[in-house]
Amino acid sequence: MTLSELPLHASAKVEDVQDLHPNDAIARRLRELGFVNGEEVRLVARGPVGGEPLLFQVGFTRFALRRSEAARVRVRTEGVSA
């Protein structure tokens, strides 16, 4: 599953960020922001127009991502605290 598929208010753990090409700046920046293996993330809100942007919380920080950016982050929902 990817972050873009996560239901509203659901939590998941990051598995990895997919690079679409070598030296992928967006994938690198997502990792720098904290989207790393094992980190818990929660979908807090969706934007009003077409469901974009998506608002995620990692730790105490919130990030607004486009669906295309969120689709790069693979997550798992098993073993996540509620």
- Residue 81 within any structural domain of the chain: no
In contact, 45 and 17? CB cutoff 8 Å: no
Range of the domain at 43: 3-76
pLDDT digits (tens, 9 = 90+) for 40-79: 999 999 998 888 999 999 999 999 999 999 999 999 998 7
What the block records as the tokens of 61 is: 């920080």
Q: Mapping DSSP to helix (H, G, I), strand (E, B) and coil, where does residue 22 land? A: coil
- Residue 14 within any structural domain of the chain: yes
CATH code where residue 62 lies: 2.30.30.90
Does pTM surpass 0.85? yes
